Copies of this chain bind each other. A is one copy, B any other.
Amino acid sequence: MKIAIYGYGNLGRGVEFAVKQNPDTELFGIFTRRPPENVKPAFAETKVFPAADITNYKNDIDVLIICGGSATDLPEMTPALAADFNVIDSFDTHADIPKHFVAVDEAAKKGDKVAVISVGWDPGMFSLNRLYANAILPEGKDYTFWGKGVSQGHSDAIRRIEGVLDARQYTIPVQSALDSVRAGENPDLTTREKHTRLCYVVASEEADKARIEREIKTMPKYFSDYDTTVNFISQEELDRDHKGIPHGGFVIRTGKTGKDNGSNHVIEYSLKLDSNPEFTASVLVAFARAAYRMSARGDSGCKTVFDIAPVDLSAKTREQVIAEML
């Protein structure tokens, strides 16, 4: 199965590594909107092509993994490319998924291709766990906690404040809230009760740190609804201690069954990831395999993680997974 990467940032680089780990995938190359000579792949043998030429390679690529941003890239790229390629994206603006689905579905059906959208861990693996848990326990309550992990969006928001040179923001689940959920207490939790925000900020020498801290803590949507801690550190400290892009989180459903709903159950799925983009990339490659197989069977249109039988994600045969994993 020949996989190509469209867009080469942290996520595309993660796909480049993930393709190497799988026995049945090989990398056709990277497509970039930048001048190809400006892109430095992780492996010397990886070919880089101009994005503008991609339709020349229609018959050489089995699945295209689109590694763009959800704000502006993917709403354009995925429908445009789904007419010519089997594609996967990690579109993660939850509220806009139904709209994205319709646009991609139309294109993929026109081109008789399979497109899988919103693949990753949330949306993605977390979504799957929400669905499985809801199907099993119809009477229950869902909780999703994120972190401890770096939020790129929140880090960027801090960097836009005057006097800030660099910043890194961690989203941290509140342990007592997690404990209460796991204990089956079914708490109603406010935004503030679920997560705290921890910021490491590099300020310019002349900047008013009190003002920066105030601007962060009162920023609507991003910080004002949370208990936020701001630590000022040096650029050296930020580079040394906060270079990684870890993330993770917890999907928990608690529910009741039996006589008088007397039995309590807790289903929990959690991820602890050293690298958010590398893990997301690994999920993308597994679903690329499914897209390839579904397309080979004559299927077409837009799919989500909900539509894909788990066996299609595995490099192993159906007989193998039944014998080894069931």
Contacts and interface: CB of A to CB of B under 8 A. Distances in A.
Contact of A318 (B279, B306, B326): B306
A314 interface: yes
B138 A325 contact: no
Copy tally for this chain in the complex stands at: 2
A325 B272 contact: no
Interface in A297-322: 304-311, 313-315, 318-319, 321-322
A136 interface: yes
B278 A304 contact: no
B314 A310 contact: no
Interface string A261-281: 011111111111111001101
B265 A131 contact: no
Given A131-B313, A310-B132, A326-B123, A98 B263 contact: no
Contact of A97 (B123, B309, B313, B323): B323
27 contacts: A14-B257, A17-B258, A18-B257, A21-B139, A22-B138, A23-B138, A42-B259, A97-B322, A98-B319, A98-B323, A123-B326, A125-B136, A127-B326, A135-B313, A136-B279, A136-B282, A136-B286, A182-B272, A257-B278, A257-B281, A265-B272, A266-B272, A267-B271, A304-B326, A306-B310, A306-B314, A306-B321
Given A21-B257, A266-B270, 16 more contacts: A18-B257, A21-B139, A23-B138, A97-B322, A118-B326, A125-B132, A131-B314, A132-B310, A135-B315, A136-B282, A265-B274, A265-B279, A269-B270, A306-B314, A306-B318, A306-B326
